[in-house]
Amino acid sequence: MCLKQDSDSVGIQAVLVYHDSMDRKKLALIVALLAASVALVLMVANLLVKWTVRIESRTDENRFLQETSAYIEAYGQEAFLKRVGIVLPEPQKADVVDLGAIYEKASKAVVNISSTSGMVSEYLDYVSSASVGSGFFFDPDHPYILTCAHVVGDSSRFLITLPDSSIVQATLVAKDDDEDVAILTLLEDKEHDSLVFSDSSSLKVGQQILAIGNPLGFSATLSEGIIGGLGRVVRDPQGRLALGRIQTSAPISPGSSGGPLLAVDGTVGGMFSSIYTTNGSYQGMSFAIQSNVVRDIALELLANGEIQHGWLGIKAISLTAQLVQSLELGEDKGLLVSEITDKALARKGLKAGTQEALLGAHEVFFGGDIIIDIEGEMVDSYASLLDALSAYRANDVVKVTVNRDGELQTLELGLVKRPSNAKEMIF
């Protein structure tokens, strides 16, 4: 009897435990569901808040843009920026070049140069020659006029039309055909303005420049352009090789030669000498001699009356790939000495060629020294030889590096005066 009661009580307790466990699980599930519902509600509420804020923000933004647009339309952008505390820097004003002021001052020193010779026309009237060029005063104390040597030509007396239209006679002081520079002087003392030289080594490509001259006889004509290139090698009106020319876009015509190339400060950066042309007229490029060259040549002409440009007394051959290969030379660039025309060079050790040959129409001699450089400047052509010797005068001594039979040697050689046919000495 007791055993059966114990068994029933255990069963009842088990049932109670089971129901209690089920109630707890349901309770936990209900709590979890309630928590999820609360989280979902909070998330939805958060999204609703953000959406509401965004709508309000957009509304505020639209209202701000409308008010800003209305303010700018009414008072301007600059006033709006000042109102919100933004101060813009003052825009930098581009320098405006007063061409009229430059011309007014510089043209007072520019003259028209004409030859005093004349001719009888078909109507038996005596007609003086047309304008042959331009020039300018450069010395405030003396009535010296700078112009191009090719403007002067073989004449020695000239008529100068001054800026006030008065005409005065002038005579040649000195000239240098190689650099195309000449100096005239008035035969009577006249008050005159003069131009000042600037340092042409400071010129830059793209720099604005001005030209004043007498193209086709139209006196004191102003034109402008820019520097298109520096250090150009061109041929002057006489066919000579001209080094270091300034290339510009300033339009010039016959009669402009000898006129000044002006920087925008009114100083002289060069002297116009020629144009590039295939038909005799201006085709977009004009050339000028550097002011540093013009000034130095002018001072030397005034001091000595002439320029004795230095030259090596030789006949030489510019090396080509064909010559180097056929003669099996140890250098592929340089000047092969064919003959020595200045015997002093031979005494100083320079070696001429001994193997006679025909190079085109020229009789030459192979086997001599190959000149590599002069005072450190490479030479391999007539132009480079001119350039290397441009700063030297006759009787100056220069160091010359040569290749002799495959060995480099340095010789100190004296220079002679450059002959008029120097170009014919280099083949």
Q: What is the pLDDT of residue 158?
A: 93
Of residues 195 and 353, the one with the higher pLDDT is: 195
Q: Is residue 83 located within the same domain as residue 209?
A: no
Whole-angstrom distance, CA of residue 209 vs CA of residue 330: 47
Of residues 29 and 187, the one with the higher pLDDT is: 187
Q: Is residue 13 located within the same domain as residue 105?
A: no
Q: What is the pLDDT of residue 54?
A: 57
Q: Is residue 32 located within the same domain as residue 105?
A: no
Tell me which residue range forms the domain holding 22.
1-91
Least confident of 64-78, 204-218, 232-246, 247-261: 64-78
Q: What is the pLDDT of residue 11?
A: 47
Residue pair 129/115 in contact (Cβ under 8 Å)? The answer is yes
Residue ending a domain, choose from 269, 288, 307: 307
Whole-angstrom distance, CA of residue 248 vs CA of residue 230: 9
**Domains in the chain: how many in total?**
3
Q: For position 371, which CATH number holds?
A: 2.30.42.10
Per-residue pLDDT at 3 exceeds 50: no
Q: For position 255, which CATH number holds?
A: 2.40.10.120
Q: Is residue 262 located within the same domain as residue 399?
A: no
Q: What is the pLDDT of residue 21?
A: 55
Residue ending a domain, choose from 307, 334, 350: 307
For 223-249, how does the pLDDT look when each residue is reduced to its tens digit (9 = 90+)? Answer: 999 999 998 888 766 667 888 899 999
The tokens for 13 are 């307790």
User: Span 201-224, mean pLDDT?
Assistant: 92
User: Span 339-361, mean pLDDT?
Assistant: 82
Q: What is the pLDDT of residue 241?
A: 80
**CB burial readout 36-70, b (16+ within 10 A) else e:** eeeeeeeeeeeeeeeeeeeeeeeeeeeeeeeeeee
For 137-182, how does the pLDDT look when each residue is reduced to its tens digit (9 = 90+)? Answer: 999 999 999 999 999 988 889 999 999 999 999 999 999 998 999 9
For 296-308, how does the pLDDT look when each residue is reduced to its tens digit (9 = 90+)? Answer: 999 999 999 999 9
User: Span 102-113, mean pLDDT?
Assistant: 94
Q: What is the pTM for the complete model shown? A: 0.71
Residue ending a domain, choose from 307, 323, 340: 307
Q: Is residue 366 located within the same domain as residue 240?
A: no
Q: Is residue 278 located within the same domain as residue 353?
A: no
Q: Is residue 287 located within the same domain as residue 297?
A: yes
Per-residue pLDDT at 372 exceeds 60: yes
Q: What is the pLDDT of residue 149?
A: 92
Of 132, 201, 210, the C-alpha closest to 172 is 132
The tokens for 359 are 């190079």
Q: Is residue 273 located within the same domain as residue 137?
A: yes
Q: Is residue 87 located within the same domain as residue 106?
A: no
Q: Is residue 421 located within the same domain as residue 403?
A: yes
Q: What is the DSSP letter of 425?
A: G
Per-residue pLDDT at 16 exceeds 70: no
Q: Is residue 188 located within the same domain as residue 293?
A: yes
Q: Is residue 302 located within the same domain as residue 325?
A: no
